[in-house]
Structure 1
Amino acid sequence: MTDQDAPQVPPLRVLWLIKGLGPGGAERLLVSFARLVGRDSLSVEVGYVRPDKTQLVAELASLGVTSRPLSGDGHHWIATLRKLLATGGFDVVHAHSPLLAGVVRLLVRTLPQKTRPKVATTEHNEWESYARRTRLLNAVTAPLDSHRWAVSRRVRASMWPWVGKGTEVLIQGIEFDRFDAAADARQRIRRELGIPHDAVVAVSVANLRRPKDYPNLLRATGVARLEIPNFTVLVLGQGPLKEEIEGLHAELGLGDSVRFLGFRSDVADILAASDIFVIASAYEGGPLSLIEAMRSGLPSVATDVGFVSDVIEPGVHGLIVPTRNHRELAKAFVTLCRDGDARAAMGRAARSVSGRFDIRETVERQMEVYRQLAGKASSLNTSRND
């Protein structure tokens, strides 16, 4: 029998559920996944709740992925989601939000048993960062999952014990090409932003939300600037706390030492123009921006959150400090600013280990589970969709 004569296995039908399609880490994972898996292996749609978070809709569409807003048609998003589940013919539903996970687990049980899709979920954040009601809903309904991932061991450890016990840790990866190609952008970006050539630049890539603890970063910058006057922090991100954080920035008199750049599509270029990567968060899951910074050859100063301690060896790839302690964060900044040789050595070491975090491995594992849940044997195609 020739390959042409072999029976054709239809692609898996998968529905991804996510809060919004803004430029966050979990959202970018969907884009990377869609870029790497051939359409003959996977037919995927995305359902999202936030109608104001649509930045990635067009990019997903260019990869053959339909994005469906679940709100805004005059019906409650839960009713819209239930209708989509009943008519979509999905093999698997994969939820990337704790609230959506809790709801879809229950909605699937209202469908006829023979048409019910299997439910997979990914926990992207430590449970302490969730609202109490969301945490309770997630915990009570979690046994209804067919498969569950956590993006770090710390995230799994934060779960209620009976939930964490059945959870697979799967550290997410990145697409290396984007960051390898940006290596020559340093001088161009510094000229564009008016950054002096002798400035030591730290960069934070995180939306302006409570768990990211920007007050910690701003206060640490103020302390560090007393000893390192040419220290500059670039902030890439947007979010609901913009006015509050900018108000604290003005109150502390930080001026141009902290610059808010908002959303940027050229994150790889900004990383190439920087000297240090910073995470000042109180809570994290698996901050992919850390892996991106390592691939860009940056040492990191990071609070001990998410998978930071799994990825960074202190003194080798960067420095790890306690959460909510701006003085320790400032001390780490000063240490790296004063020692350019140590910065360079840590950056080289970080890049050398970044190869462990290839998004293709994540894609292969998730596709393997999708096929198992759907009961379909099909070959994985991770070729690019050029």
Structure 2
Amino acid sequence: MPSDSTLLLSVGELNDNKNHKVIIQSLPELPSNVHYVICGRGPLKEQHEQLAKELHVENRLHLLGYRSDVIKIMKSCDIFVFPSKREGLSVALMEAMACGLPCIASRIRGNIDLITQGTNSILCNPNGYMNFVDVIISIDEEIKDKFSKLNIIESKKYSVKQISEKMKKMYLKGDIFHD
């Protein structure tokens, strides 16, 4: 990849629920220096590669497979994208926030618990790739700097201790069994 590339990163299994397809579909609409990196493996690997080939962006999609050095990879990327259709409280999203990455995530349960829209990250409709295109294009250096400072602060609310306490309260109240 050229040194002036903008690197989008997702972490998660290559399956329908993680919805990586929507970001692959956005690549032709984005500047040619935007590359999409995915850490994860799964049953849709070949489909994602085929879609990228059909869209003529196969040189901009990088499937890294399972990685044990995700934090190091996060620190070398520009934007974390998390287009899932369904999530719990995502560790990958919390890690990206803790690394100071601007985060673009789908507007679903779990993500909305972590993200303050427009303050520390941006929420998108998981079904529309043009929404992701518009948001990705809008992120400039000023926004990256603002989000990185806020995400580091926000991520402290989601330490292991904080989450353990919240989960314990949810189980005791029975809230864990409701949507």
TM-score range, shorter chain: 0.7 to 0.9
Task: Answer whether contact 2:79 2:101 (CA < 8 A) is retained.
Answer: yes
1:358 corresponds in structure 2 to 159
Q: Kindly provide the amino acid, as one letter, of the partner of residue 247 in structure 1.
A: Q
1:230 corresponds in structure 2 to 33
Where structure 1 has 5 or more consecutive residues not aligned to the other structure, the ranges are 1-194, 371-386
1:349 matched to 2:155:
no
C-alpha separation in 1, matches of 2:109 and 2:167: 21
C-alpha separation in 1, matches of 2:130 and 2:8: 16
Distance 1:368 1:261, change over 3 A: same
1:320 matched to 2:123:
yes
Task: Answer whether contact 1:287 1:306 (CA < 8 A) is retained.
Answer: no
C-alpha separation in 2, matches of 1:196 and 1:335: 21
C-alpha separation in 2, matches of 1:331 and 1:350: 21
Task: Answer whether contact 2:19 2:83 (CA < 8 A) is retained.
Answer: yes
Q: How many residues align?
A: 171
1:291 corresponds in structure 2 to 94
C-alpha separation in 2, matches of 1:365 and 1:344: 30
1:220 corresponds in structure 2 to 26
Report deviation, 1:366.
6.5
Task: Answer whether contact 1:204 1:279 (CA < 8 A) is retained.
Answer: yes
What does 1:36-115 align with in structure 2 at a 5 Å threshold? none
Report deviation, 1:312.
1.3
2:5 corresponds in structure 1 to 199
Distance 1:367 1:230, change over 3 A: same
Report deviation, 1:303.
1.0
Report deviation, 1:196.
3.0
Task: Answer whether contact 2:26 2:132 (CA < 8 A) is retained.
Answer: yes
TM-score by length of 1: 0.42
Task: Answer whether contact 1:298 1:348 (CA < 8 A) is retained.
Answer: no
CA RMSD of aligned residues (A): 2.0
Structure with the bigger RCO (C-alpha within 8 Å, sep 6+) is 2
Task: Answer whether contact 1:207 1:239 (CA < 8 A) is retained.
Answer: yes
C-alpha separation in 1, matches of 2:2 and 2:33: 9
2:16 corresponds in structure 1 to 210
Where structure 2 has 5 or more consecutive residues not aligned to the other structure, the ranges are 172-179
What does 1:131-280 align with in structure 2 at a 5 Å threshold? 195-224=1-30, 228-280=31-83
C-alpha separation in 2, matches of 1:367 and 1:327: 39
- Matched residue SS, 1:269: helix
Report deviation, 1:229.
2.1
Q: Kindly provide the amino acid, as one letter, of the partner of residue 214 in structure 1.
A: H
TM-score by length of 2: 0.87
Distance 1:255 1:246, change over 3 A: closer
Distance 1:269 1:368, change over 3 A: same
Report deviation, 1:302.
1.0
Q: Which has the greater radius of gyration?
A: 1
Task: Answer whether contact 1:285 1:305 (CA < 8 A) is retained.
Answer: no
- Matched residue SS, 2:17: helix
1:340 matched to 2:141:
yes
